[in-house]
Amino acid sequence: MNATERAALEQGAELYEELSRTVGKRTLEILERRRKTSVVKRRGWLVRRMLLIADLVGLATAFALSEVIFSHSGSANRLDLVTEVLLFSATLPGWILVVKLYGLYDHDEERTDHTTVDDLVGVFHMVTVGSWLFYVGAHLTRLANPSLLKIALFWAFAIVLVTLARGAARTVARRQVSYLQNAVIVGAGDVGQLVARKLLNHPEYGINLVGFVDAEPKERRSDLGSLTLLGPPDRLPGIVRLFDVERVIVAFSNESHEQSLALIRSLKDLDIQVDIVPRLFELMGPRIGIHTVEGLPLIGLPPLELSRSSRFVKRATDLLVSVFALVCFAPLFALFALWIRSDSPGPVFFRQLRMGRGDKTFRIYKFRTMASDAEERKNEFVHLNKYASKGEDSRMFKIPDDPRVTRFGGFLRRHSLDELPQLINVLFGQMSLVGPRPLILEEDQHVENWARQRLNLKPGMTGPWQVLGRNDIPFEEMVKLDYLYVTNWSLRRDFGLMLRTIPVAFGRRAAHY
């Protein structure tokens, strides 16, 4: 070891000694657990292998089910079972290659909030393309003459089973220490601290925040816990190495443009994921497009208004799903009605005035979860408002463990079942399955100027606010989420939000109203 290497080692030891006194215990525990393993296993290493196993299990199970069903359908197999198994096994590397080409092994490492729901379209395409390639290839090579019916059965089973297997694989992976990503935020200003708060509110993202890097930090907000300042940006390369940082989020610092560029370029040599919060991020949603002019990237924002065809598709989806759901849930509605009446005196439904699309009011339907005189007693419990009690934005009225809630009402709220009657509002065209949050009039009066464009679409039973954080998201951020939803609407995103609502509803604490 020469003098330069020895000096760098000593400097790194001094830096670790200094920062290890300030970083959170969780970071040190993660480092200790990783050091006990002989191989450095990061999220990408873990998830890619788990998803590979999931894909093989899903495809193999779909093949087995299609074989069993087809063999009992009375149709004769065109090849004996052993030959078909060997032929299918030989195609598995090709299937994995198709999955890789669709990028379905890489998103978890790159994106903090990637879920199996986001894989649905990719899995559908992958299975469809793979099934047709197998069918056409078998006929062209004359290695086999597969039945189109059996291919169709396999296609249907594979879409469902691969998706379920991927969900199970992610559930297992998220319990492993290798799934956690140590992260550092460059910039401890308002935006950097906002990013930190959002990540702390979503432990399911698997992000362990080590701290901030900034030469001129702002005063730290109160909801960031023990998150610490690690020092100026010139320390960042050393911090990345010492604390096994896998993700660096650049969120507006006071460094000059050239210094920021140099810092980000230096990180490319450290094998980490770099995320950059763009300027004007408040206007950017999932539908933004990037195009170039002589290599200069430009971000294109989608049109503000939905086309007639998009509105027609959204309304048609609302009608079909609401009618089907109301028919299916009719026995459940009757059971809940009996339970509500036996639990406390009063009506089954609670109706409340809300602000709808185009500033037109409507009465929302919900199962009653409070005592019948709850509205008259509201002023008695103003002091319990979770936002006002913290000295924060009190434009929303939320009371944890509200004493006005009935016993059965608490159960309904915990799982958002009290909101099922809103399907009636959807059927009547007052609401949509997915949309902005339906605000009471006292809340709506605080929505001004550009933010009123959130009512260009009908309020929804679910939406980004409900899925991403609900009671943990302040009023102003809720309005911004709704604005981004409206200005970046897509049918695919609506289906994604509906699917993500199911595990959220059954996996969170009771909603506060």
pLDDT, residue 492, reads 85
Q: For the ranges 6-10, 16-20, 76-80, 185-189, which has the lowest average pLDDT?
A: 6-10
Residue 513 confidence class, pLDDT cut points 50, 70, 90: very low
pLDDT of residue 197 exceeding 60, the answer is: yes
pLDDT number for residue 509: 43
| pTM of the predicted structure, to 2 decimals | 0.77
512 — pLDDT class (breaks 50, 70, 90): very low
- pLDDT at residue number 17: 67
CB 263 within 8 A of CB 255: yes
Q: Across residues 124-140, what is the average pLDDT?
A: 87
CA dihedral for 304, 309, 312, 317, sign (positive or negative): negative
Quickly name the fold that domain 18-37+177-300 has. Rossmann fold (3.40.50)
Q: What is the pLDDT of residue 123?
A: 94
Between the alpha carbon of residue 391 and those of residues 222, 387, 394, the distances in Å are 11, 7, 8
Q: What is the 3-state secondary structure (H, E, C) of 465-491?
A: HHHHCHHHCCHHHHHHHHHHHHHCCCH
Looking at every residue in the chain, the average pLDDT score rounds to 83
| 3-state SS, residue 323 | helix
Q: Is the pLDDT of residue 358 over 80?
A: yes
| Banded model confidence at residue 72, pLDDT cuts 50, 70, 90 | low
φ, ψ of residue 250 in degrees (nearest 5): -90, 115
pLDDT for position 37: 65
Q: Where are the CATH 3.40.50.720 domain residues in the chain?
A: 18-37+177-300
pLDDT at 339: 92
pLDDT for 472: 66
Contacts for 83-91: CB closer than 8 Å, 24+ residues apart: 83/144, 84/144, 87/138, 87/143, 87/144, 88/63, 91/134
> Does pLDDT of 216 surpass 60?
yes
DSSP secondary structure code for residue 203 in this structure: G
> What is the pLDDT, as a whole number, of residue 176?
87
- Residue 473 pLDDT exceeds 80: no
Q: How confident is the model at residue 28 (pLDDT cuts 50, 70, 90)?
A: confident
